[in-house]
A and B are shown apart, each in its own frame.
Chain A
Amino acid sequence: MICIVDYGVGNLFSLHSSFKALGIDTVVSGDREVIESAEKLILPGVGAFGDAMKKLSLNGLDKVIINQAKKGVPLLGICLGMQLLFEKSYEYGEHTGLGLIKGEVVGMQGRIPKGLKIPHIGWNELHYDKTCPIFRFLTPGDSVYFVHSFYAANCEESTVATTEYGTEICAAVRDGNVYGCQFHPEKSGKVGLSILKAFCLIER
């Protein structure tokens, strides 16, 4: 069973519907035992980093997720859920993340050319590592849907996809069994659904 971790941040409706459309059973839960018994974990999230980490650690779910990831359970962080995988974020202050992936989360303001709109909203082309298992069904030129104002930096070793928005932006990361997508696969049409499907097909 795949568990979509519910920690009171963001809308899980679309993610749940996406897996349903793929014919894949998921459970949406914030229960420690359910999370610990899941074969794979999805960590969603929208909003601000600090607030999300606070909510995640409220019930000790941060430690549960770290433990499961270290045991080898495939984990996919989406959007803010991807950013939480990093060591820290500079969104409204400085916040410590889950530390599962080396690097940090920084703002676009001042790092992308002037005149480009922030947040980075819309469909943008994915430049991806073809050997990464979650991209096995993609075709060069495929685009995905982004909505974000912060992005991961200093994470060259784990970066498996980038996109171009005035500068090169990290679009996806992987370190072993831990995966993260800055974009929203659940909002990226057939391409996005194929990424979720590929994640579900990963064998431990």
Chain B
Amino acid sequence: MITKRIIPCLDVKDGRVVKGVNFKNLNDVSSPVDLGKYYSDCGADELVFYDITASSDGRKLFTDILTKVAENVFIPLTVGGGINTVADFDRVLKCGADKVSVNSGAIRNPNLIREAAKKYGNQCVVISADIKRVDGEFRVFAKGGREDTGIEAISWIKKCVDDGAGEVVVNSIDTDGVKKGFDIELLKLVTNAVSVPVIASGGAGCAMDFVKLFKEIPNIDAGLAASVFHFGEVDISELKNLLRKNNILVR
């Protein structure tokens, strides 16, 4: 059967990986090219490259760096940040992306997901939603979590999947950076609402947080994190051993 995926995320700003990195075996710890290659070789199941300020700066994603990252990554590569049009999909796919993640772009352009899915297939379109609790409901935030859109999150995600998104990344703003575990409540709601793969993001502080995620939500497909991997707090091969010991299927 299909294995649970462990996904490191490269948050890239001005061509460098942010959130700090601390790897003994890498010369340039904030180079997305070196870090991408490292993860591709060390057993990560997928890599996410996210240009975190492309959307808020209103500019296009750095395709030259992306190309260099993609040339050295032999696992699936999802790319996001500043994706607003089908032409943006085309641009990053030509640079070696396998999937394209949309967030603010899907809010601004209601037809984006449908058009992109028709052209590139559902498997290529990932809806990445930044979600926060506001006034007792889950709301979608735009521009890298900076702006409350007022949109209710679960129905929004359902609509995106109906339009053709083949995968959902759920970033919980409430648990992100807190390092006390994934947002189980929110992730359960999303996993029960859609029939496509769901990727949990935001809150991983230690390896046990991934065990807890897959135990409490058996139907969730993947766990994504950035800093715990970059800082070496969680080693991917050790994490996979721990998951295996807990009867969670990994590669």
Contacts and interface: CB of A to CB of B under 8 A. Distances in A.
A72 interface: no
Nearest to A146: B2
B76 A187 contact: yes
B74 A21 contact: yes
A189 B121 contact: no
Nearest to B121: A47
B94 A189 contact: no
Nearest to B37: A21
Interface stretch (A26-34, A35-43, A61-69, A121-129): A121-129
A120 interface: yes
Contacts of A47: 121
B196 A117 contact: yes
B227 interface: no
Contacts of B45: 122-123
Contact of B74 (A120, A165, A188): A188
Q: Is the interface of B mostly helix, strand, loop or mixed?
A: loop
A18 B74 contact: yes
Interface string A167-201: 00000000000000000001111101100000000
Contact of A164 (B1, B43, B122): B1
The winner among A47, A121, A192 for most chain B CB atoms within 10 A is A121
Range of interface residues on A (Cβ < 8 Å):
20 to 34
Nearest to A22: B74
B70 to A, nearest CB: 7
Given A119-B122, A122-B2, A123-B251, A11 B166 contact: no
A21 to B, nearest CB: 7
Contacts of A139: none
A14 B70 contact: yes
B76 A120 contact: no
A18 B74 CA distance: 7
B197 interface: yes
Given A17-B71, A189-B40, A193-B74, A117 B1 contact: no
Contacts of B5: 122-123
Contacts of B72: 17, 21
B222 to A, nearest CB: 8
A192 to B, nearest CB: 6
A4 to B, nearest CB: 14
Given A187-B75, A189-B74, A193-B74, A119 B166 contact: yes
B121 A187 contact: no
5 contacts: A13-B94, A117-B196, A119-B122, A122-B5, A124-B3
Interface of A: 11, 13-14, 17-18, 20-21, 46-47, 117, 119-125, 143, 145, 147, 164-165, 186-190, 192-193
